[in-house]
Structure 1
Amino acid sequence: MKNFYITCVIALFALLAPNIIDAQVVISTPSLGFSQACASPSFNTYNVTFSFSPEGNLSSSNQFIIELSDETGAFSNATVVYTSAQGAITTSPATLSISLPTDTAGQSYKVRVKSTAPTATSTGSVAFPAYYKIQDTPFSINNLIDTGVYCSGGSYLLTIDDPGTGDNDSPLQYPSLTFNWYKVTSPTTSVFVSSGNTLSVNQSGTYFAETNYGTCTSNSFSNRVTVSESTTNGTSSISSSLGNPYCASQGSTTLSAINGISYQWYKDGTEIPGATNQMYVTNESGEFSVDIDLGDCATSATIDLNGVGFTSEIDVLELNMIEDNETLVATVTTTANNPEFKWYLNGTLIAGATSNSYEATQTGDYKVVIKQTVGCISTSEFLFKVSTAFPNVSSIPNLISPNGDGINDTWIIPQEYVNGANASVTILSAQGKVMLQTDNYLNNWPEEQLAFKAINPVYYYVITTQDNKTKKGSITIIK
């Protein structure tokens, strides 16, 4: 009886053994439809093709799984990047599409294919570089300041700007990213210097950073910063967060200086009390400067801040001389968006004068107002004066009558002492107060009405010519 049961088991095994052996599949090494994978939010699809055999041994519940190795090609901590539905793939070869995880970054990734019923695993594919470009736009370093200064024997630290708020797409927002720093060697070439979030520079040159996306092309690169050594007082530059010119109606702009130990800011040459930080916030136009203590040396920086959002120029002088029957054409060039022009003579709007140029046929005080009508709504203006040519007088007068009758209203002196002669003209009151001092006298004193505290006040003049000859005398004012 015992032998009977043994015989039956052996016979049953003999019947089932072929099926057990046949219920296996072999999966080929995957082939790739790409040589490198440079993924981004706008593109992340890569094809993987593999074969398996025999097709008939797949269970109806079988699923194919594609795994992605780590950046070294190891599968010990593989990531599943594709799983098919049960029984969905029954014919060989098969081509499947995978997507990369957002933290993918390396040069030697591989993929492999696995089946679940029956279980089988392919060998790994050829290695390939793969990067997910989670940040692919230009970014700023050094607060967008294009210069840096270090003291002799010291260094200057370049840093990637923090994410901040608003439109600042700093790559520091993405912890998985790494960065490479380069030094410019020519207008089109550069050399690798170091990796990291910062770069300590102790050699003069121009530097920039790129996000490390390996062999993948990318737009994730920084502005360029020129760093130089300063053994004495050197100069650097200032950046404006809203640019320059900027639109004052958009709010305040932040002025930033390079890294230093201490700071002092100035506006139009006057110290700003309490402005001793690396950054200064303002909504005013003007010339801003800053003194920066670097420790063993110092530097300074200046920016001429324009708060109208555009720039303009006019091609005439502040004072223009014309002969009788002559005219003067003044032309404005501007970067204003859809500009409007208004011209004035002696404070009165000139009807019909709405183009960027005007032909002045009369003497007087002119003004042109330029208005930007799209975007930053703002205005800018130029003032200029048109006069007849200086009279060719031969002597220095000692009597004027500024009463507005057009005769002797201003102190007219010989042409050898006026505009362009490089002569110094000083006018003093009887009490010794300097009323005018100029090297470019325009025969226009007094420009404003004088207060008559005496019946006929007396002023004194000193004229020093270019060859240091001096003429002195008095000027009596009569009504």
Structure 2
Amino acid sequence: MRLIKLSKQFYLGTLCFLLGWSISTAQILNKPTAASNPNLSGSSAWNVACASHDFNEFFINFTWSTPLVAKDNKFILEQSDADGNFGSPVTLASVSDKNTVFKFDFQFALPVETRGENYKFRVRSTNPARTSAESDAYPMYYMDYKSAILISENGDGNIPPGGRIEICQGNSTILSIHNVPDANAYKYIWYRSGIPLPDNGPSITVSQSGNYKVEIDYGSFCSSSANTLSNTIAVTTLKQLGISIDPPAKTNLCPKETETLEANITGQGLTYIWYKDDLAITSPTVDDATFIVNANTSDFEGRYSVEIYGPGTCLERSPAIKIGKAGNFMVTRMNDQNIVLLPGQTETLSVSTTASSPVYTWFKDGTIISGASLNTLDITQPGAYHAEVSQISGTCSAITIPSETTSVVAPASFEISVDYTSEYIPCGSKNVTIAVKTITAVAPDSTRKDVTSTLLSGFGYQWKKDGTKLVGENTGSLVINDPGSSGNYCVEGILNAYSATSNPLSVQLIPDGKITISASSSVYCDPTDAIIISTATDLTGESFTWLKNGSDYNTTGSQLTVNSEGTYQLVVSKNGCTIRSNEIKISLLDDSIVVLDSPENIIFAEGGSKTIAANGADSYLWYGPENQILSNSSTITLTAEGTYLLVATIGRCNVEKTINVSYKNTFKVPNVISANGDGINDQWVLPNNYSKNPEVNVIIYDPKGREVLNVVDYQNNWPSITTAFTKQNMVYYYKIKNAREVLKQGTITIIR
């Protein structure tokens, strides 16, 4: 009897396992610990993990206690983030063959992104679902870069001679890594003369003397083994002397005068370079602490400074001293440099000056103009004009300064440009205004001058269309608003003996009229069904084209007969422009356009009903089982079994949909059948909401939990007549489910 009881317990446990029923467990998963590497002789358990591409093999020891886990269980080793958090754990290893081993080692490799001091481990089992305690924290680093780092100033890759850089007091420089790919992906340890600095990026700003170097921060245990320590850059800070130029006796010199400039620092063996307006005017010379400014030099005026450098000192440049011309004044030409003197016109030239009590003298082509002693001069002839201004009072002797020269010429010809002055779209505008835009005087040397504002009203005009004069159109602008007036327009301008014809402008106004096309239907039922596309517009004598999908349809008829899908349009040409009709889209009937909100097969309890709605068609007719019309609405309510027909009309086409209605069985799932071949209750018959349904899955297990049937669309045909049952009252188990859930489960007892 005890053996029988144990067999039943084993049987029930197996059955529960097969049917997905859970059994309470109480396994204890102990926290994992670091273990020695069995592949390395004499190794001991690790306490720091330093991995790289040439070594990445570590072991974790794990123990657990009974009861046994399930046969399909897996033990999974997980790693935390660098702060010991398991919010998003990383799976390091997984084993499924240790379900009867209570102490074993996991082998794993560090992920390449591992860098930190507080990584932890834990172990999960999958069946039953358990999680061990967290391990102690371990420093762990994957050292993907293990070469010596190179640093240089600003990371430019140029290591200075002797590894030395000099900077002035109060200034700084930047040392950067230049040979590490993706340098921002790491943290670093910077050193100044052996002392770690707080900076941990790939660059450091340096303003103090010292020996600087850097290495990648792989933690206090792994950094030294990575051998990334960089070259050394020795930074030296140099002192600043405060160079300046002693104030000179004079800063404004008269002609032939000189002034000596002297640096405030002398006699220290320094090298000097003198500058004027930031350009070097002497070569580097030791102890060259003075410079003589000579007013006899034409370009002596400017800003003077001196630069010094030497051993142990910074390169420094002094503030600038401005040296100018005594009694100096300015003369400014007030008119344009180039003037086109138009026929019969007078131009006025003028200059301004900062001189006190100035005296003016005017010149034409280098010859003094008698009596011209004002700051202005009226001219009527071409030539080269300038003025000289003299000042006879002040600290220096008399000074004369000439103005810039003005070139005055008579025009050789004129050019007239016309343009649209209102919004214009070719074949898209109903009217447009064109007008003279610019008038340009062209000098004999091809110099060009815009004289529009001066001569726009002085010219006489004659507009032309396609070379023919337009009567009465003699102003500077022209309005065109007749669709039949499309063509090329220009204007001829006349001034005294000058004549100029403008550039041509093309004008194409939108033609009158609108074209509309229509179709006998937008849908054809089959390739033999013809559709007529036509227009009410008279196309007699017109140039037109029918388009299908934007391409020429190759027909000359005033209407189309079509029986193929596409987008059709009529294009008519008038006055060089095209008028496009509306587009008509013709398509083949698609049965899927008509949609029912119900499946084709409907089941409801007798006495119930089902309302069905259709859409996508122009009209609807519902027919009953006796072919009688039930409704012409888009919806219908069905209350009786039978086959119903919907005829939906789209244009001239019909779409048919069939609906089968049956009553829902009210009997329950049977739990006893008598498979004795007498034709009564020999097979397991399910209600029709479970049977013959492609969305329902039926599964049957034998008394030992083995699957004997697993089908969808069950046909109420189990067991077959060939099925043999070896015992009386055998109990089978079943599940009925759909894709989302178990709908029904229970037992089937077989009575022979």
- The alignment's TM-score, normalised by the length of structure 1, stands at 0.41
- The alignment's TM-score, normalised by the length of structure 2, stands at 0.27
Larger radius of gyration: 2
Higher relative contact order (CA 8 A, sep 6+): 1
